[in-house]
A and B are shown apart, each in its own frame.
Chain A
Amino acid sequence: MAPQDRLTGELLRVEGLTVSYGDHQVVTDVGFSLRRGESLALIGESGSGKSTIARSVLRLLPRGVGRATGTVEFEGQEILSLSERRFRPLRGRRIGFVPQDPGNSLNPVRTIGVQAQEAAALIGEKGPEVVLETFDQVGLDNPRRVYDSYPHQLSGGMLQRVLIGLTVLPRPALIVADEPTSALDVTIQKRILDLLSQLRQDLNISLLLITHDLAIAAERADSLVVLKDGVVQEAGSTASVFSAPSSEYARKLHADVPALNPDRYQHLRDSDRPVGEPPRIEVRGVSKTFTVDGKVLTAVDDVSFSVAPGTTHALVGESGSGKTTTIRLLLGLEEPDSGSITVAGEEVTRRSHASLRSVRRHLQLVYQNPFTSLDPLWTVKRLVGESLDRYRVGDRDERVREALDSVGLSQDLLSRRPTALSGGQRQRVALARALVLRPDVIVLDEPTSALDVSVQAGIVEVMLTLQASLGLTYVFVSHDLALVRQLAHTVSVMRQGRIVESGPVAAVLDNPQEPYTRALVDSIPAGADPVAGGVS
């Protein structure tokens, strides 16, 4: 290898990579190459095979199940055919790995220090000094405390810093990062990605970034490989793929990312709405405290907002901000300590069970995760029709069909069970289930956060079409500001149980007054180039 190759040459070359689990082929004839010091993003939705490719490069496919063929060349050496014994010295030392969910990526019953020492041992260091130095370098405030902690004592963001620290500690030439931020809150996402970019520059490490988020990839990678069902759809420099996507799929993906298309649904959002009517939802001075282990926790602190009929109000905040408690109060699942909530002129708080039932009929909920919120043993017909039985509504079959129609599901699915449906279909069933009683208000608790972007786009479109045609009022809980910008009319930003800022979406997001809101807005990945990204 020529000397300049060591600095700028090709580091990783993948050619004709095909991976199968048993008889099931998940990656077909994939090829790409990554030069030293550069970064490449593998983009795709669930099932695209992107994580499988990452694991093939690290040779961490499930033992005895996954089989990879083709060529993976790292620093000029074919590594796919190496024996485990000859490959193992490369792991950690030359190729590092940053996993997706920091919460389950460290051994829960061993201290961080014990696990960090494994990384230090790769470069022959026995003492804690190197580890503490690295923790400091990745921005952990109290390295000693982190070193002595167990994983469950640290937050997700801190754990990801630890894991990144352990990965860069042996100074590898390549880092494979598999969705390194998708399990983290948005403001932390940005900080973690910034950290990765900076370490990469300082230490001249190449990055193979696996992500579903086109906007993140565009912001962080030099070149992109777009995958679908294990096949490369398009590859090239970020700028070219972004400004002129040549494949159908890349174009669709680009159109479906909320951060890149803030005005996509403007025509639906701005449809005619009755003017001068009283608010459909009115929340006034609501507080709620919980007592946990003798300590009083204020989950919701003097929260007020109102929502006009036929509009969408977004509740935005990170985990622990009080969003979920607020909607539980709104739905009458929890009694507030003080304050009042009215929906369509009727008081929700301080009511008997029986009278709450009549309010709930006009107030429906769609849960976050359609993979856990639908009883797997029930058919679609029974799931959607359940509330009709509860409220003894006649001509049920007719109403169920109508609800399925309105969310764009075929009647053929009536006898299916949730396990035979895709994630998007499931969430449409959940939406149909909420619609079947013809409510005025639907509360949506992060309805798309468990779904792929293209599936999300479908759900959002259905939601907005329904709102325009039926005059529904939505309360939309989300941590995704880009999505909020696309579909909401008004927004309340919550932090530690309080509303820190509230108003029309455009006003709040374009000109945030509070530092916290600004941090949230800044954390929206902007894409490669604002002009090419379609930000008007």
Chain B
Amino acid sequence: MKYALRRVLQAVVVVLLAYVFTFVVISVLPGDPVTNTLRNPQNGFSEEEIQRIVAYYGLDRPVHEQLWQSLSRFVVGDLGVSLRSGLPVSRLISEVLSSTLVLAASALGVALVLAFAIGFGTQYLPKRYGQGLLRAFPSLFLSVPNFVIGLLLINVFAFQLGLFRVIDSEGGLATLFAAIALGIPVSARIAEVLVANLDHESAEEYASVARSRGLGRTGLLLRHLLKPSSLPVVTVVALAVGELLGGAVITEQIFGRTGIGSLVERSVTTQDLPVLQAVVTLAAIVFVGVNLIADLVYPLLDPRVRLGESRSRPKVEVAA
């Protein structure tokens, strides 16, 4: 319990540090949001509104005071107001968040299915022919960037086969293909670890001993090898969340989806700093949160960690 509490506190500190760091980086960037955005005639703010926003963010005061003001609002859940649209940032985010979360979650699902298919395949296919091919997949998947995969998928399935429309692409099939594009590189990382661990575990003495009790290949795989080989996958998935978030920005652009990605893209080009600050912090919260959950769940999955002296997740073994 003490351990859990300490980990939660650590996570909170990391999120706050991420917030401060983002704030500092944004502040030192060249360009003045007041002249660039607020006084941009296109946005049509009146002088009065501008004064109000400047006063709200303390833009006429020193940076450390702005930080303090911004941080104390963040702590109570106030993310501020968009400089471009004047709408609350929390509302802008909540409008697009669900679309991105659906995409990222489906991509993770695709990645897991693919990775376990590859992992099982390496245990079943004859060594000489099938396995070599299957074992090449992870490095292949890793070496092709997800935007290339995305463009290929669009070209084949949208343009040539007409399975889904790229414009207005929030439908199920469109989401699936976007998830495939985003999920494939992630599946490579998971598969690498899974295959390495299946190989490692099946060479362990307990696997031979289990076979001496009359277990066949499937029994051995499902009853014995699967669980210990999957445990490190928890760690990899937690780390892959970062990749999923980053990849989502690109994938959303390619597949013409509205989501956090398109919001980020718009905010960057218009220097909408409060939105950027909020999105980066949100990414930090998700990443830290997922890793926190992984750390807290791991001891429940692995009895050795639960009762052993070492509380941290064991290191992940990756194929040489």
A350 interfacial by beta-carbon distance below 8 Å: no
- Beyond the given A109-B303, A119-B213, A293-B309, could you list 4 further A-B residue pairs with CB under 8 A, ordered by the A residue number? A91-B214, A92-B212, A97-B209, A109-B301
B-chain residues with CB within 8 Å of residue A122 when the two chains form the complex: 213-214
Q: How far is the CB of B274 from chain A (nearest CB, A)?
A: 47
Contact B231 A109 (CB under 8 A): yes
Q: How far is the CB of A271 from chain B (nearest CB, A)?
A: 45
A163 interfacial by beta-carbon distance below 8 Å: yes
B315 interfacial by beta-carbon distance below 8 Å: no
Contact B214 A109 (CB under 8 A): no
B159 interfacial by beta-carbon distance below 8 Å: no
Once bound together, how far apart are the Cα atoms of A98 and B212, in whole Å?
9
B49 interfacial by beta-carbon distance below 8 Å: no
B215 interfacial by beta-carbon distance below 8 Å: yes
Contact B206 A106 (CB under 8 A): yes
Contact B206 A105 (CB under 8 A): yes
The residue that B210 contacts in the complex, of A55, A104, A115, A292, with Cβ under 8 A, is: A115
A-chain residues with CB within 8 Å of residue B309 when the two chains form the complex: 292-293
B-chain residues with CB within 8 Å of residue A115 when the two chains form the complex: 210, 213
Contact A106 B213 (CB under 8 A): no
Once bound together, how far apart are the Cα atoms of A108 and B309, in whole Å?
16
Given A107-B224, A109-B231, A150-B303, answer yes or no on A91-B212 (Cβ-Cβ < 8 Å): yes
Q: How far is the CB of A174 from chain B (nearest CB, A)?
A: 12
Q: How far is the CB of B142 from chain A (nearest CB, A)?
A: 27
A96 interfacial by beta-carbon distance below 8 Å: yes
Q: How far is the CB of A60 from chain B (nearest CB, A)?
A: 5
Contact A118 B210 (CB under 8 A): yes
The residue that B214 contacts in the complex, of A93, A108, A150, A163, with Cβ under 8 A, is: A93
Q: Which of B134-161 contact A (CB under 8 A)?
A: none
Q: Which A-B residue pairs are the 6 nearest by beta carbons?
A: A92-B214, A97-B212, A150-B303, A92-B213, A105-B209, A91-B214
Q: Which of A190-226 contact B (CB under 8 A)?
A: none
A-chain residues with CB within 8 Å of residue B208 when the two chains form the complex: 55, 60, 97, 99
Contact B212 A58 (CB under 8 A): yes
A-chain residues with CB within 8 Å of residue B219 when the two chains form the complex: 118
| B-contact bits for A19-59, CB 8 A (1 contact / 0 none) | 00000000000000000000000000000000000010010
A-chain residues with CB within 8 Å of residue B200 when the two chains form the complex: none
Given A91-B213, A99-B208, A118-B214, answer yes or no on A110-B304 (Cβ-Cβ < 8 Å): no
B216 interfacial by beta-carbon distance below 8 Å: yes
Contact B214 A110 (CB under 8 A): no
The residue that B304 contacts in the complex, of A63, A105, A109, with Cβ under 8 A, is: A109
Interface size on B, residues (CB 8 A): 27
The residue that B308 contacts in the complex, of A88, A95, A100, A152, with Cβ under 8 A, is: A152
Once bound together, how far apart are the Cα atoms of A150 and B206, in whole Å?
13
Once bound together, how far apart are the Cα atoms of A434 and B206, in whole Å?
39
B212: nearest chain-A partner, CB-CB: A97
B307 interfacial by beta-carbon distance below 8 Å: yes
A320 interfacial by beta-carbon distance below 8 Å: no
Name which of B127, B206, B215, B219 has the most chain A CB atoms within 10 A of its CB.
Answer: B206
A-chain residues with CB within 8 Å of residue B266 when the two chains form the complex: none
A-chain residues with CB within 8 Å of residue B216 when the two chains form the complex: 88
B-chain residues with CB within 8 Å of residue A100 when the two chains form the complex: 205
| Majority secondary structure of chain B interface residues (helix, strand, loop or mixed) | helix
The residue that B212 contacts in the complex, of A96, A101, A110, A150, with Cβ under 8 A, is: A96
The residue that B228 contacts in the complex, of A64, A95, A109, A166, with Cβ under 8 A, is: A109
Name which of B203, B204, B214 has the most chain A CB atoms within 10 A of its CB.
Answer: B214
Q: How far is the CB of B314 from chain A (nearest CB, A)?
A: 11
Once bound together, how far apart are the Cα atoms of A118 and B304, in whole Å?
22
A89 interfacial by beta-carbon distance below 8 Å: yes
Once bound together, how far apart are the Cα atoms of A523 and B69, in whole Å?
76
A149: nearest chain-B partner, CB-CB: B303
Q: Which of A100-139 contact B (CB under 8 A)?
A: 100-101, 104-110, 114-115, 118-119, 122
B39 interfacial by beta-carbon distance below 8 Å: no
Q: How far is the CB of B226 from chain A (nearest CB, A)?
A: 10
Contact A114 B223 (CB under 8 A): yes
A118: nearest chain-B partner, CB-CB: B213
The residue that A91 contacts in the complex, of B211, B224, B227, with Cβ under 8 A, is: B211
B317 interfacial by beta-carbon distance below 8 Å: no
B309: nearest chain-A partner, CB-CB: A293
A-side interface size class? 35 or more
A153 interfacial by beta-carbon distance below 8 Å: yes
B217: nearest chain-A partner, CB-CB: A84
Once bound together, how far apart are the Cα atoms of A55 and B204, in whole Å?
14
Contact B205 A150 (CB under 8 A): no
Q: Which of A288-303 contact B (CB under 8 A)?
A: 292-293
B-chain residues with CB within 8 Å of residue A166 when the two chains form the complex: 213
B95 interfacial by beta-carbon distance below 8 Å: no
Given A64-B127, A105-B206, A152-B308, answer yes or no on A110-B211 (Cβ-Cβ < 8 Å): no
Once bound together, how far apart are the Cα atoms of A62 and B205, in whole Å?
11
Given A93-B214, A118-B213, A293-B309, answer yes or no on A107-B228 (Cβ-Cβ < 8 Å): yes
Name which of B205, B210, B212, B219 has the most chain A CB atoms within 10 A of its CB.
Answer: B212
Once bound together, how far apart are the Cα atoms of A58 and B213, in whole Å?
10
Once bound together, how far apart are the Cα atoms of A163 and B213, in whole Å?
10
Once bound together, how far apart are the Cα atoms of A296 and B227, in whole Å?
36
Q: How far is the CB of A479 from chain B (nearest CB, A)?
A: 23
A-chain residues with CB within 8 Å of residue B213 when the two chains form the complex: 91-92, 115, 118-119, 122, 166
Contact A152 B223 (CB under 8 A): no
A-chain residues with CB within 8 Å of residue B206 when the two chains form the complex: 104-108
B302 interfacial by beta-carbon distance below 8 Å: yes
Q: Which of A222-238 contact B (CB under 8 A)?
A: none
Q: List 16 A-B contacts (CB under 8 A).
A: A55-B208, A64-B127, A88-B216, A91-B211, A93-B214, A95-B212, A99-B209, A107-B206, A108-B228, A109-B303, A110-B224, A114-B223, A118-B223, A152-B304, A152-B308, A153-B307
B-chain residues with CB within 8 Å of residue A293 when the two chains form the complex: 309
Once bound together, how far apart are the Cα atoms of A55 and B207, in whole Å?
13
Q: How far is the CB of B245 from chain A (nearest CB, A)?
A: 31
Once bound together, how far apart are the Cα atoms of A233 and B49, in whole Å?
100
Once bound together, how far apart are the Cα atoms of A122 and B301, in whole Å?
28
B-chain residues with CB within 8 Å of residue A55 when the two chains form the complex: 208
Q: How far is the CB of B311 from chain A (nearest CB, A)?
A: 11
A-chain residues with CB within 8 Å of residue B205 when the two chains form the complex: 99-101, 104-105
Contact B304 A108 (CB under 8 A): yes
Contact A89 B214 (CB under 8 A): yes
| A-contact bits for B276-320, CB 8 A (1 contact / 0 none) | 000000000000000000000000011110011100000000000
A94: nearest chain-B partner, CB-CB: B214
| A-contact bits for B1-16, CB 8 A (1 contact / 0 none) | 0000000000000000
Given A108-B228, A152-B304, answer yes or no on A118-B209 (Cβ-Cβ < 8 Å): no
